Amino acid sequence: MGIDYDSVIDHPLDEVWGWHARPGAMRRLVPPWQPMTVLEEADSLSDGVAVLGLPAGLRWVARHDPSAYIPGSRFADELSSRGPASWPARVVGRWRHTHTFSDIGGRTRINDLVETAVPAAALRPTFVYRHRQLVDDLAAHRDAGAAGATPLVIALTGASGLVGSALSAFLTTGGHRVIRLVRGSPRGADERLWNPQAPAAGLLSGVDAVVHLAGASIAGRFTDAHRAAIRDSRIEPTRLLAAAAAAAEDGPRVFVSASAVGFYGFDRGDTQLTEDSSRGDGFLADVVADWEAATAPAADGGLRVVKVRTGIVQAAAGGTLRLLRPLFTAGLGGPVAGGKQWLSWIGLDDLIDVYYRSLYDDRLSGPVNAVGPDPVRNAEYTHELARVLHRPAIIPVPSLGTRLLLGEQGARELAQASQRVVPSKLLAAGHRFRHPDVGDALAHQLGRG
């Protein structure tokens, strides 16, 4: 039982060890398909304590063993069997994970030895995922270093969301400092109080760049209240934050704002849409146009501004994939409204890389299409999702079903939207996609890689 897993990383030992020792490593390595969230990371690999949240309020408490710690070479953690965290230990039994690192001619071998009653077959997808995350993250940081990137201080809104939490962990493991702009009481030096309607003076002092992700979810029925929430959470807060960035002393040089492919409208046929394509029709197109225009104070203040027009994000822990997965797992999935509409998608980790590149690559400015290089029709997407899950996709979802769920306008602009968007600026910059194929992106997120 348990697993003894070797992997070789094409990076030097000090880089690999340093990555694991920085904040965010556990968040980058916990598989998104598993029902657990990182509540607290260990503050030390030698004797720290990490806490994972499980369903029904349970906790997985991993205590690092000081006697096993060898700096730059080994650390170990064990599942606690004491106190309120005892239930997972009763179910799993013994769990001890020893991480060993060794140099092999400039590369690094990692050995993960897990002593537990859980069989190796159940654990293997986790370590395949961990290996690929580590390899791809280190490659992204190596590419940035080769391009001249240096450690940055980045102010981040929306840090607790799906994209924000992943981006924050990615940046901190790479040696950058992230200052989370929060609406509640700040906790520690890496959080600052942000009032979206009246940013405080000094909010962005000492910051190299701003990444602005905050905004109400667009998912749901397009009622008057929902439409107002979508607009009100984006337009004015973005304008005020952009103005604060421009006015800050010792402030940012780069302002990166979330945007969306909704700019191109809900139905553009088979036309390939680049960043130079015209704005489309519809509520979301109007919102996105005004949202992007709200970054003008930053551009007028001399900052490089990047507007990340994001496609449909593929992430097991959130978004549409989280909703579709149980349906397809049960064999109840199928094409939506005929399946001919184009879907411009992007894997979560590829989206993180786009935001990262936007911070250091001076060639990127204005709108940037954050989508995979190969958009697919809805029928092809559902086929790939079913294939990855080893399930059929034979139950079509009629247009009436989406209208009942989302309303007429929501169905038209969300479920039935057709946008064939391509990442022209990224491709021109030679950007490397981790998951250029939608099937690969889905397999990685769902543990079927």
Beta pairing class for 304-310 and 342-343: unpaired
Cα–Cα distance, 407 to 277 (Å, whole number):
28
149: left (phi over 0), alpha (psi -120 to 50) or beta: beta
Please list the pLDDT of the chain residue by residue as tens digits (449 residues).
Answer: 899 999 999 999 999 999 999 999 999 999 999 999 999 999 999 999 999 999 888 889 999 999 999 999 999 999 975 555 545 655 667 899 999 999 999 999 999 999 999 999 999 999 999 999 999 999 999 999 999 999 999 999 999 999 999 999 999 999 999 999 999 999 999 999 999 999 999 999 999 999 999 999 998 888 999 999 999 999 999 999 999 999 999 999 999 999 999 999 999 989 999 999 999 999 999 999 999 999 999 999 999 999 999 999 999 999 889 888 998 898 888 888 889 999 999 999 999 999 999 999 999 999 999 999 999 999 999 999 999 999 988 888 776 666 766 778 777 878 788 999 999 999 999 999 999 999 999 999 999 97
CA 348 to chain CA mean position, Å: 4
User: What's residue 89's pLDDT?
Assistant: 55
User: What's residue 94's pLDDT?
Assistant: 85
Q: Cβ atoms within 10 A of the Cβ of 251, count?
A: 22
In sequence order, which residues have a C-beta less than 8 Å from that of residue 243 and are 6 or more positions away?
Answer: 297, 298, 301
C-alpha count within 13 angstroms, C-beta hemisphere, residue 343: 26
Q: Are the C-beta atoms of residues 421 and 368 closer than 8 Å to each other?
A: no
User: What's residue 88's pLDDT?
Assistant: 60
User: What's residue 90's pLDDT?
Assistant: 59
pTM above 0.85, yes or no: yes
For 80, the 3-state DSSP assignment is coil
Strand partners, 157: 212
Which residue in 13, 306, 14, 15 sits closest to 139, CA to CA? 15
278 to 1, 147, 148, 262, 263: CA distances (angstroms): 58, 32, 34, 12, 9
Phi and psi at residue 100, to the nearest 5° = -120, 135
User: What's residue 81's pLDDT?
Assistant: 59
User: What's residue 415's pLDDT?
Assistant: 78
330 to 36, 334, 404, 438, 445: CA distances (angstroms): 22, 11, 22, 21, 18
127: left (phi over 0), alpha (psi -120 to 50) or beta: alpha
Q: Are the C-beta atoms of residues 259 and 224 closer than 8 Å to each other?
A: no
Strand partners, 421: 273
Phi and psi at residue 331, to the nearest 5° = 75, 20
Cα dihedral sign, 85-185-179-194: positive
Mutual angle of helices 235-247 and 224-232, in 10-degree steps: 10
User: What's residue 82's pLDDT?
Assistant: 59
Q: Where are the alpha helices (DSSP H) in 78-119?
A: 86-92
59: left (phi over 0), alpha (psi -120 to 50) or beta: beta
